[in-house]
Amino acid sequence: MERISDVVIIGAGPAGMTAAIYASRAGLKTIMLEAGAPGGKLTKTNEISNYPGYSSAGGFELATDMFQHSTTFGAEYLYGNVVDIEIDKTNSGFHSVITDDDTVYKARSVIIATGTKEQLLQVPGEMENIGRGVSYCAVCDGAFFKGKKVAVIGGGNSALEEALYLSTIVEKVYVVIRRDVFRADSIVVDRVENTPNIEVIRERKVEEIVSDGKSVTGIKLYDSHDESEKELLEVSAVFPYIGATPISSWIADEGVTDAEGYIEVNEHMETKIPGLLAAGDVTKKSLRQVVTATNDGAIAAQSCVRYIKCV
């Protein structure tokens, strides 16, 4: 099957949904493709306190509001798992976005807003215990461990914010960091250090996630400076938050990504390929927040309007 539009937006997170608002409001025929739930990682975030106008907002609620707004001006939301993109090299005026059901979406302009995915610990016991005590979403799975001890791995904002959320549910939260200092904002660090049932374990790395064959029972840790110094921490769940990787593998061959897979764009969110843009966390940038993603989406859409009017 083949669909034709002015703009195809790949991804329905904050960047993609904002792009859909601006593109459709400008009169462009807009299709937004998403392989998961609208909102992206925002739906897995317990609380947003730094988005203008919301001193405290639930991630799922904010994502729902954004999604409803994104289709107000006629943008079409469709499920679609993108597996390839064919860049226009014949001057046809259309790039082709291909999904895993072999549908081809042709558009004069494409905005990639696929975001990032959680980085794995890559230790024994991780993959086989996903859903049995290993989780990458505290908001989704935290309630299963009410009254138990859990571990959060990571020292950035995401890790600490999820630790704070879990502290309201579980008996105790261990925050394991490989350094002596956090990589998070001081206001978040202060809250963690002043929460009675959160204990920070510094300068430790995870060697293995241990289970009894049915569920997680603990994690083996070792000293960041001396691998011979080890300990077993008994917990019922492990929540890794050690970073993210861009979702861009299917565009890697086009020469628009850096060594880590982030898409390189200019101030107009344009790649070096005419009509191909990117927005949000998938781009190479210094700050990845909801507010910066929405900013990117708006700029990308306006760049599409300008590009389409000129070709």
CATH number at residue 183: 3.50.50.60
pLDDT in tens, 142-184: 999 999 999 999 999 989 999 999 999 999 999 999 999 999 9
Residue where a domain stops, chosen among 221, 240, 259: 240
89 and 140 assigned to the same domain: no
203 and 301 assigned to the same domain: no
Q: Which of 169, 149, 167, 148 is nearest to 159 (CA)?
A: 167
Name the band, by pLDDT with cuts 50, 70 and 90, for residue 57.
confident
Give the pLDDT confidence score for residue 210 in this predicted structure. 98
- What percent of the chain clears pLDDT 70, i.e. is strictly above it? 100
13 and 100 assigned to the same domain: yes
Among 40-49, 83-92, 155-164, 277-286, the range scoring the smallest mean pLDDT is 40-49
Report pTM: 0.83
pLDDT in tens, 173-213: 999 999 999 999 999 999 999 999 999 999 999 999 999 99
Name the band, by pLDDT with cuts 50, 70 and 90, for residue 55.
confident
- Which residue is catalytic, options 65, 137, 185, 223? 137
Name the band, by pLDDT with cuts 50, 70 and 90, for residue 41.
confident
- Which residue is catalytic, options 6, 88, 141, 296? 141
| Residue 26 confidence (pLDDT) above 80 | yes
Q: How many domains does the chain have?
A: 2
Q: Which of 145, 97, 116 is nearest to 40 (CA)?
A: 116
CB neighbour list of residue 111: distance below 8 Å, 6 or more residues apart: 7, 8, 9, 10, 16, 19, 23, 269, 277, 278, 279, 297, 300, 301, 304
113 and 124 assigned to the same domain: no
| Domain range for 157 | 120-240
- Which residue is catalytic, options 101, 140, 190, 212? 140
141 flagged as catalytic:
yes
304 flagged as catalytic:
no
Calculate mean pLDDT across residues 244-254: 94
Calculate mean pLDDT across residues 113-133: 95
| Residue 46 confidence (pLDDT) above 80 | no
160 and 249 assigned to the same domain: no
| Cα–Cα dist 30/130, whole Å | 37
Name the band, by pLDDT with cuts 50, 70 and 90, for residue 95.
very high
| Residue 89 confidence (pLDDT) above 90 | no
Calculate mean pLDDT across residues 43-53: 83
151 and 189 assigned to the same domain: yes
Residue where a domain stops, chosen among 209, 240, 271: 240
Residue where a domain stops, chosen among 240, 266, 295: 240
296 flagged as catalytic:
no
Q: Are strands 2-10 and 30-34 parallel, antiparallel or unpaired?
A: parallel
CB neighbour list of residue 168: distance below 8 Å, 6 or more residues apart: none
104 and 195 assigned to the same domain: no
| Cα–Cα dist 233/174, whole Å | 9
Q: Which of 269, 298, 301 is nearest to 285 (CA)?
A: 269
103 and 188 assigned to the same domain: no
| Cα–Cα dist 220/239, whole Å | 14
8 and 111 assigned to the same domain: yes
167 and 188 assigned to the same domain: yes
| Mean pLDDT, the chain, integer | 95
Calculate mean pLDDT across residues 19-26: 98
Give the pLDDT confidence score for residue 44 in this predicted structure. 80
Calculate mean pLDDT across residues 240-265: 95
208 and 284 assigned to the same domain: no
103 and 252 assigned to the same domain: yes
| Cα–Cα dist 239/229, whole Å | 23
